[in-house]
């Protein structure tokens, strides 16, 4: 079948159904979701969790986000994790200007950031309808695959629906994890829960993220939403 230039194929019916259950809307057009979070995170299983507070912007019409967190003693450590205009960014600074860490900007980094965007569609349900760069496959009644990107940066995440048909968990078999100066593909898990009706949407107010390392699931992030609005 030959497609008309500029033609956007319709969403699979199961994807449209998911969007409606979450309260997603195509208009009036807003550009992004802005949310705030509080929680705890760590890098390795042997580390203790560190409290953080964060703000995040998630674009609704394209794969882009910016997450900025404060952590460490007196919140003096700033973490920026972003994917803007196809470029990944990971920076850690102290006192606002002392560099502590800087992530690579290669295709593996971009792929990992795209996976994060796809996983966090639960917090930006309007993007299910509005971001037409996303590609969808229906695995079965409880599982959907969503993809984005080209070449080495192409990424996919599995969305697992809960008993109410909302996004209850996510899974990626091979998200890049930076270890010892290089990226290693690791199974990556997320869980969304505590759904509440807010601003006409159903949103999960709590979430957890874990890696599978040496046949052990290691939780590295726990957080809750403290604010959410369309912008």
Higher pLDDT, 98 or 139: 139
Q: Give the model confidence (pLDDT) of 49-75 as tens digits.
A: 999 999 999 999 999 999 999 999 989
Q: Is 111 exposed, middle or buried (0-12, 13-18, 19+ CB in 10 A)?
A: buried
142 within domain boundaries: yes
3 within domain boundaries: no
- Whether the bond between 28 and the residue before it is cis, its omega within 30 degrees of 0, is yes
4 within domain boundaries: no
CA distance 162 to 18: 11
Tokens 């705030």 correspond to what residue? 36
Question: How many Cα neighbours within 13 Å face the side chain of 211?
Answer: 18
6-10, 86-90, 210-214: the lowest-pLDDT one: 6-10
CATH number for position 209: 2.50.20
Number of domains within the chain: 1
Tokens of 201: 């949407």
| Dihedral sign computed on CA atoms, order 90, 94, 97, 100 | negative
Q: Give the model confidence (pLDDT) of 146-164 as tens digits.
A: 999 999 999 999 999 999 9
Q: Is 219 exposed, middle or buried (0-12, 13-18, 19+ CB in 10 A)?
A: middle
Q: Evaluate whether 90 touches 100 at the Cβ level (below 8 Å).
A: no
pLDDT score, position 182: 93
* Residue 204 pLDDT > 70: yes
122 backbone φψ class: left, alpha, beta (φ>0; ψ -120 to 50)? alpha
Compute the CA torsion angle 21, 27, 31, 36 (nearest 10 deg). Answer: -40
Non-local (6+) Cβ contacts of 4 within 8 A are none
Q: Describe the chain by its helix, strand, coil percentages, rounded to 5.
A: 15, 55, 30
174 within domain boundaries: yes
5 within domain boundaries: no
Cα 130 to the center of its chain, rounded Å: 16
Structural domain range at position 215? 13-21+31-230
Give CA separation, 40 vs 57, 64, 88, in Å: 19, 23, 23
187 within domain boundaries: yes
pLDDT score, position 28: 64
7 within domain boundaries: no
26 within domain boundaries: no
Query: What stretches of 55-143 show up as alpha helix (H) in DSSP?
Result: 107-119, 126-130
Query: What stretches of the chain show up as alpha helix (H) in DSSP?
Result: 13-22, 107-119, 126-130
């Amino acid at each position: 079948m030959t497609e008309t230039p500029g033609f956007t194929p319709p969403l699979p019916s199961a994807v449209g159904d998911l969007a409606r259950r979450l309260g997603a809307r195509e208009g009036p057009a807003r550009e992004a979701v802005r949310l705030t979070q509080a929680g705890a995170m760590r890098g390795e299983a042997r580390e203790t969790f560190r409290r953080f507070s964060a703000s995040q912007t998630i674009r609704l019409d394209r794969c882009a986000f910016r997450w900025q967190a404060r952590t460490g003693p007196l919140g003096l450590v700033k973490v920026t994790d972003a994917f803007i205009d196809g470029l990944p960014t990971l920076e850690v600074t102290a006192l606002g200007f002392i560099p502590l860490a800087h992530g690579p900007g290669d295709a593996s980094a971009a792929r990992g950031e795209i996976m994060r965007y796809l996983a966090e569609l639960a917090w930006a349900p309007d993007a299910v309808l509005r971001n037409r760069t996303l590609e969808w496959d229906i695995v079965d009644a409880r599982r959907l695959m969503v993809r984005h990107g080209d070449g080495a940066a192409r990424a996919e995440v599995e969305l697992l629906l809960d008993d109410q048909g909302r996004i209850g968990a996510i899974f990626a078999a091979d998200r890049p994890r930076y270890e010892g100066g290089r990226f290693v593909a690791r199974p990556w898990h997320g869980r969304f829960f505590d759904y509440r009706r807010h601003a006409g949407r159903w949103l999960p107010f709590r979430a957890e993220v874990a890696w599978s390392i040496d046949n052990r699931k290691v939780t590295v992030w726990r957080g809750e939403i403290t604010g959410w609005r369309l912008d």
